[in-house]
C-alpha cells in the first residue's frame, strides 16, 4: 500500500502537467465526421502514440480506410492479468459555434461561481479527458515503479463519433494482439458528483439519413405551389407520424425483442434518488416528453427511442424565399434495447418511408452505423475489484447503472473477441458532450486518474 | 406610323447595347433579403438612376429604412396621359450555388441546342431583364424623337423579394408624385413562347417563420432522447398536419372568402390548351400534387395554398450527430385568393401552432410580408390599347390570365393611390426564377422592348 500511496501522491503533484498534456490533445481539432479534419485526426493519433512511447509503451499508429487507430502495449509481471483499455480521440462537430463561451479548441481552466474548476473545450469530457485519466495513471505507475502491475494493451479509435466504420475489419485483423482478460472502457459517467458508477447495460444505435427527391430543380411556389410535390411536406408528414400520441414509435415491429425491465431493477433505480425535475431542469425543461407511463430513467435506460437529429430543406437563411425545393432530408437515429435487431429496424424505417411516398417522390437512404444493445455480466470478479478500488477513492459504493447512450465497441469486444468490458467513467450529465460548451470537471480528471491508479493495482 | 417604324428599327439596331447594359445591372449582386448585400442593392439603385438620367429622365435615389427606391420622371406632350411604370431591381438569393451552370452574377448569352438564345444570370428574368425592356423602349423613343409620347414616372423598388417593408411608408409620402392614370408593371409572364399575356388576377401572399424552442441547449440523444422534447418532432408533427389527405389546408377558417371560379372562366382556361403533363414534365414531375379534384391551372391560379419553403433544425452537415437540438424552425407561405384576409390567415396559423405545442416548447413567430389577392378591371380602356399594340408585335391575341404568384404593390396602387395596373411581362415558365440557372430569352428581351415601344405609342 505504501507503493500505491506514493503513486497517488505523484498523481497529485503532477496534476498541472497532466492538464497541460490534455490541453495539447484538445487543441487538435479531430472532428472525425468532417472530411476536412482528417489531418487533425491523424495528428491526434500521432500525438497519443508519441505520448505512450514516452511513458514506456510500445505504440504504433495503424492506418485504416478511415482515421487511424493507436495501438500500444506494455507488459505486466509474469502471470499478471492483461487488460485492453479503449478510448477514442475523435470528437463531435462544434456547431453552433456561436454558442460557445470559450473557443472549443482553446481549452482553459475556468472556475465557476460555486468554486468548481472546469476544463473547457470539445473533447475534454468525450473522450480525450477520460482516456487521459487512464494514460496519466499509467504514467504515474511507471514513473514511481518503472513498471505496471498488470499487462496493458491500449486501443484508441478515431471514428467513434462517426460510425466506427474501420473498427470491424481492424478487430478482425488484430484480434490476437487485442485479446485480453477484460476490456476497460472510459467513455461513461458518474452517477452524481460524489458517486462513482459502472454501466452494465448500453442501448444500441441505428443511424439513418433519408432524402426525399421531387422536382428536378427548385421551383417558385407562386407558379408551382400545391401542383408540384413539395418534399418538405412529404418529409414532415412522414416524420410527424413516427410517434403516436402516446410517444410510442409507430414503425411496424419496432418493439419486437424489447424486454420489460424486471421489477427488482426498477426498485433499484428508484433507490438511486434520481430527480426528473433536476435532470430536466438543468437543461431548461420541466415536462417529460416521450413514452407515456414511463419514468425518465426507464425511458433513457431501458426503452427504445426514435429521434430526428437533423432536418433540412428549402431556404433557411435570413429573410424569406418562396421556393419549393427539389429535395429535403433528415437524419434519424434509433436507440435499441434488449434483442432489437438493428438491420430489421433500419429496414422497417425504410419501408415506413417508402409506404408514405407520394407519386413523383423518390427516397434515398444513407446508413450511419448500427449496433445492438448490450448487457454486461454483473458477476465478473473484475467488477468487484474495481468497485472496491472506487470505494477507496470516493468513499462511496459504486452505482451499477444502465446507459442511454451507445458504445458499439463493447458489443464488438463481446462478439468478436469474447471479452467482457468494464465501463468506468467520470463524466457528468452537465458536461455538454455533443453540445456547445463541453467541459470536464477538474475533479473528474484528477480523481479519475487516481481511480485508475487504484484499479490497476486492484486488478493486479 | 413611320415614326414608330423608325423607333422599332432603332430598337433592333441597338439590341447589342441593350444586352450589355442589362448585363451591367445583372452583375450587381442585389440580393435584398441578405443584409450582406445591402451595398449591392444601393449600387443597383444608383446604376438605374444614372442610366435614366442619361436617357433624359429626372431621376433620384430615395433612401428608405431598407433598400433605396429609384424615382424618375419624364414629361409627355401637353394633355397626354401619365403612366407609372414599376419594376424591382432586387433579386432572390442564389443558393444552392453549386447547381448553377453559369455563375449567377456573370451573365452570358447562351445558345441552346434548339437555337434559342438565353440571357443567363440571377435577375435576368425577375426582374432586371423585364424592367429594362421598358427602359430601353423609352431610350429608343428619346433617341429617335427627343421625347416620349406620354408622361412617364418610374418607380424601381429594391425589396420586392424580401417583403417590401419600405413600400407602404414610401407610397404614402410620395403619393402625389406617384399618382398617374394607370400603373404599368412588368413582372409577369407570357402565356407561351408566341402568345403575349396580361395578368388580370393575382394571388395574395402571407409569409411566416416559426421557430420552436425547447431545451436551453442542444442535448445528447443517448442521454436525453425521448425524455426531452425534440423541437424537430414538434415541428414535423404540426407541419405534417397542415394539409389533410385530400390536399386541403387544415387551418381553421382558411377557406373563408375563397370564391369558386365561374364556369365561363374555367371554360376559357380550358381553351388555353394548357398541358399539365408538359408543365409538370418540364421540372421532372408527372403527378399533380395538392388539392384533389382541381386542375393544375385551377390550383395555381385560383386556389389558396400553404407551402413550407424552408425547414431547419439539428445537424444537417456531413456525417451524423446524435443531437436533440434546442430549436428548429420553418418558413411557411400562404397564397391567397378572393377575399381571404392575410391577417386572419397569419393568426390562424399561429393559433394552429400554439394549439399543438407540447409542454416545455415555446413558439416564436416572424412576419415576412402579407398581401391580399387582387382582381383587376378587365374593361379599362388602356387594356384594349395595350392588347392591340401587343397584337401588332406578336401577331396574336393577348391571353388574359390569372397569376399564381403575388405582386403586393398592385394592391397598394389600387388601395393607396386609386390606380389600376396593367400587368404585362415577357417571362417564360422555364425561366427558373427563384431557382438556379435563371435566364431570360433574348427574344423576350428584344420583343419585350418592341412591345413597350408600341404600347407607349398606343397609350399616347
φ/ψ of A374, rounded to 5, equals -130, 140
- Rounded distance, CA A187 to CA A133, Å? 11
List chain A domain ranges: 2-202+373-459, 204-258+304-371
Nearby residues of A99 by Cβ (< 8 Å), 6 or more positions away: A436, A437, B217
- Rounded distance, CA A148 to CA A137, Å? 10
Top CATH class, B204-258+304-370: alpha beta
- Rounded distance, CA A251 to CA A333, Å? 13
* Tens-binned pLDDT, residue by residue, of chain A (460 aa): 458 999 999 999 999 999 999 999 999 999 999 999 999 999 999 999 999 999 999 999 999 999 999 999 999 999 999 999 999 999 999 988 999 999 999 999 999 999 999 999 999 999 999 999 999 999 999 999 999 999 999 999 999 998 888 999 999 999 999 999 999 999 999 988 999 999 988 899 999 999 999 999 999 888 898 899 999 999 999 999 999 999 999 999 999 999 988 888 888 788 888 899 999 999 999 999 989 999 999 998 889 999 999 999 999 988 888 899 999 999 999 999 999 999 999 999 999 999 999 989 999 999 998 889 988 888 899 999 999 999 999 999 998 888 887 787 888 898 889 999 999 999 998 899 988 999 999 999 999 999 999 999 999 9
Interface test with B, best of A126, A209, A221, A328 (most B CBs within 10 A): A221
Query: The domain A204-258+304-371: what is its CATH number?
Result: 3.30.70.360
- Rounded distance, CA B82 to CA B460, Å? 9
φ/ψ of B258, rounded to 5, equals -90, 115
CA nearest neighbour of B393 among B329, B449, B311: B449
**Chain A residues within an 8 Å CB radius of B401:** none
Interface test with A, best of B319, B357, B367 (most A CBs within 10 A): B319
**Helix and strand numbers, DSSP H then E, in chain B:** 15, 18
Q: Which three cell numbers stand for residue A57?
A: 509503451
CA nearest neighbour of A55 among A152, A127, A136: A136
Q: Which of residues 301-320 of A touch B (CB under 8 A)?
A: 303, 305, 307-320
Q: B225–A35: do the CB atoms touch at under 8 Å? A: no
Q: Is B308 left (phi over 0), alpha (psi -120 to 50) or beta?
A: beta
Across the interface, of B319, B321, B435, the residue whose CB is closest to A219 is B435
Q: Tell me: the pLDDT tens digits for B49-65?
A: 999 999 999 999 999 99
Strands (E), A130-181: 151-157
Q: Which three cell numbers stand for residue A379?
A: 458477476
Q: Which three cell numbers stand for residue B182?
A: 394607370
Query: Distance from A363 to chain B by nearest Cα, in Å?
Result: 15
Interface test with A, best of B221, B408, B439 (most A CBs within 10 A): B221
Give yes or no for B220 touching A (CB within 8 A).
Answer: yes
- Rounded distance, CA B182 to CA B413, Å? 9
- Rounded distance, CA A333 to CA B319, Å? 12
- Rounded distance, CA B402 to CA B410, Å? 14
Burial of A244 (0-12, 13-18, 19+ CB in 10 A): exposed
**Chain A residues within an 8 Å CB radius of B296:** 227
Q: Which three cell numbers stand for residue B357?
A: 405545442
Cis preceding-peptide flag for A170 (omega within 30 of 0): no
Count CB atoms within 10 A of the CB of residue B81: 17
**Chain B residues within an 8 Å CB radius of A242:** 233
Q: A222–B406: do the CB atoms touch at under 8 Å? A: yes
- The ipTM value here is 0.77
- Rounded distance, CA A449 to CA A389, Å? 12
Across the interface, of B93, B223, B405, the residue whose CB is closest to A223 is B405
So what's the architecture of B2-202+373-459 in CATH?
Answer: 3-Layer(aba) Sandwich (3.40)
Q: B289–A226: do the CB atoms touch at under 8 Å? A: yes
Answer yes or no: are the C-beta atoms of B349 and B370 closer than 8 Å: no
Q: Which three cell numbers stand for residue A146?
A: 518503472
Alpha helices (H) along A220-295: 221-224, 231-240, 263-271, 276-281
Q: Which three cell numbers stand for residue B86?
A: 414599376
Say how many CB pairs under 8 Å bridge A and B.
372
Query: Distance from B360 to chain A by nearest Cα, in Å?
Result: 6
Q: Which of residues 101-160 of A touch B (CB under 8 A)?
A: none
DSSP readout, A304-372?
Answer: -EEEEEEEEEE--SSS---EE-SEEEEEEEEEE-TT--HHHHHHHHHHHHHHTPPTT-EEEEEEEEEE-
Amino acid at each position: 500500500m505504501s507503493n500505491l500511496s506514493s503513486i497517488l501522491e505523484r498523481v497529485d503533484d503532477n496534476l498541472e502537467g497532466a492538464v497541460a498534456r490534455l490541453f495539447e490533445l484538445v487543441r487538435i481539432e479531430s472532428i472525425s465526421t468532417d472530411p476536412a479534419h482528417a489531418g487533425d485526426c491523424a495528428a491526434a493519433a500521432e500525438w497519443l502514440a508519441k505520448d505512450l512511447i514516452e511513458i514506456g509503451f510500445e505504440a504504433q499508429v495503424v492506418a485504416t480506410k478511415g482515421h487511424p487507430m493507436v495501438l500500444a502495449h506494455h507488459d505486466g509481471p509474469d502471470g499478471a492479468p492483461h487488460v485492453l483499455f479503449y478510448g477514442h480521440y475523435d470528437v463531435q462537430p462544434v456547431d453552433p459555434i456561436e454558442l460557445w463561451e470559450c473557443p472549443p479548441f482553446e481549452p482553459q481552466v475556468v472556475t465557476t461561481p460555486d468554486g468548481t474548476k472546469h476544463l473547457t473545450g470539445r473533447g475534454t469530457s468525450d473522450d480525450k479527458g477520460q482516456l487521459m485519466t487512464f494514460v496519466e495513471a499509467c504514467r504515474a505507475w511507471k514513473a514511481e515503479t518503472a513498471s505496471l502491475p498488470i499487462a496493458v494493451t491500449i486501443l484508441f479509435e478515431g471514428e467513434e463519433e462517426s460510425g466506427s466504420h474501420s473498427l470491424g475489419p481492424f478487430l478482425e485483423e488484430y484480434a490476437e494482439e487485442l485479446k485480453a482478460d477484460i476490456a476497460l472502457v472510459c467513455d461513461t459517467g458518474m452517477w452524481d458528483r460524489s458517486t462513482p458508477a459502472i454501466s452494465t447495460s448500453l442501448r444500441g444505435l441505428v443511424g439513418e439519413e433519408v432524402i426525399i427527391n421531387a422536382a428536378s430543380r427548385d421551383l417558385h411556389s407562386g407558379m408551382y405551389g400545391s401542383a408540384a410535390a413539395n418534399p418538405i411536406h412529404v418529409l414532415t408528414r412522414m416524420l410527424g407520424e413516427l410517434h403516436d400520441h402516446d410517444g410510442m414509435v409507430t414503425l411496424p415491429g419496432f418493439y419486437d425483442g424489447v424486454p420489460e425491465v424486471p421489477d427488482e431493477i426498477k426498485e433499484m433505480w428508484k433507490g438511486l434518488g434520481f430527480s426528473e425535475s433536476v435532470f430536466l431542469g438543468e437543461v431548461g425543461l420541466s415536462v417529460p416528453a416521450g413514452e407515456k407511463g414511463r419514468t425518465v430513467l426507464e425511458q433513457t435506460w431501458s426503452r427504445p427511442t426514435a429521434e430526428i437529429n437533423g432536418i433540412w430543406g428549402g431556404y433557411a437563411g435570413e429573410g424569406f424565399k418562396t421556393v419549393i425545393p427539389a429535395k429535403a432530408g433528415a437524419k434519424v437515429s434509433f436507440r435499441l434495447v434488449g434483442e432489437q435487431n438493428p438491420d430489421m429496424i433500419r429496414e422497417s424505417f425504410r419501408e415506413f418511408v417508402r409506404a408514405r411516398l407520394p407519386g413523383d417522390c423518390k427516397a434515398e437512404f444513407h446508413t450511419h452505423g448500427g449496433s445492438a444493445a448490450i448487457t454486461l455480466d454483473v458477476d465478473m470478479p473484475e467488477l468487484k475489484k474495481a468497485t472496491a478500488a472506487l470505494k477507496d477513492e470516493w468513499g462511496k459504493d459504486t452505482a451499477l447503472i444502465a446507459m442511454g447512450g451507445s458504445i458499439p465497441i463493447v458489443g464488438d469486444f463481446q462478439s468478436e473477441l469474447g471479452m467482457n468490458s468494464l465501463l468506468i467513467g467520470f463524466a457528468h450529465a452537465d458536461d455538454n458532450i455533443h453540445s456547445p460548451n463541453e467541459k470536464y470537471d477538474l475533479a473528474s480528471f484528477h480523481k479519475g486518474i487516481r481511480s485508475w491508479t487504484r484499479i490497476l493495482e486492484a486488478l493486479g
